[in-house]
Every structure is written in C-alpha cells, then in structure tokens.
C-alpha cells in the first residue's frame, strides 16, 4: 500500500521561506518588502523584519509592475486577510 504524503498548505510553504526576502502586496499599488521572520497560523499572518513600505506603479506603456518608491520600516505585521499577492524573488 502506498503511503499518503501530507499536502503542503500555503502557510506551510511560507514557513519554508523563513529567513528569505519576500514582497507582500496588500493593495493595487502598495506593499511591503522585507525578510520573513515568522509565520503565524492563528491569526494567519506574517512578520517581516528589516522591512520597507513600497509603492508600485504600472502604465499602459509599461504594464509590468515596478517599484517607484520605498520607505524604511523596522518590522511589519501583515494579516493574511489583507494580502493580494506574495512574491519570493530569486
């Protein structure tokens, strides 16, 4: 009989990225970038250290999202209810 492998949840996948830089988009043109410090299951949330608040813009001529400004923050708590997208750059 084949042993069933546990399914990896989104929070489990994020737990594997602790210590890496990530980008969390919380609005159409706003987000945070920083080092993932911790992932919480209840409430579902992320803790970023060495973080920056970022503003993202797109135009008709350049439809790829680009970071146009950054503002230094020390640490950020992000509730997963407000997250639109999470990017993990290589």
pTM of the predicted protein model = 0.81
Predicted confidence at residue 24, as pLDDT, reads 95
- Catalogue all structural domains in the chain, each as residue range(s) with its CATH number: 17-87 (2.30.30.100)
Model confidence over 12-64: pLDDT tens digits?
888 888 999 999 999 989 999 999 999 998 889 999 999 999 999 988 998 88
* Residue 5: predicted pLDDT: 60
Summarize the confidence of residues 61-75 as an average pLDDT.
91
On the question of pLDDT at 70 being above 90, the answer is yes
Strands (E), 9-87: 21-25, 30-40, 45-57, 66-72, 75-79, 85-87
Across residues 72-86, what is the average pLDDT?
Answer: 92
């Amino acid at each position: 009989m084949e042993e069933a492998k546990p399914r990896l949840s989104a929070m489990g996948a994020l737990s594997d990225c602790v210590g890496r830089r990530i980008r969390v988009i919380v609005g159409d043109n706003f987000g945070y970038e920083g080092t993932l410090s911790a992932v919480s299951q209840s409430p579902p949330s992320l803790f970023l250290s060495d973080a920056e608040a970022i503003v993202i813009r797109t135009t008709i001529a350049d439809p790829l999202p680009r970071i146009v400004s950054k503002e230094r923050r020390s640490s950020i708590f992000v509730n997963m209810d407000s997250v639109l997208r999470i990017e993990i750059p290589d």
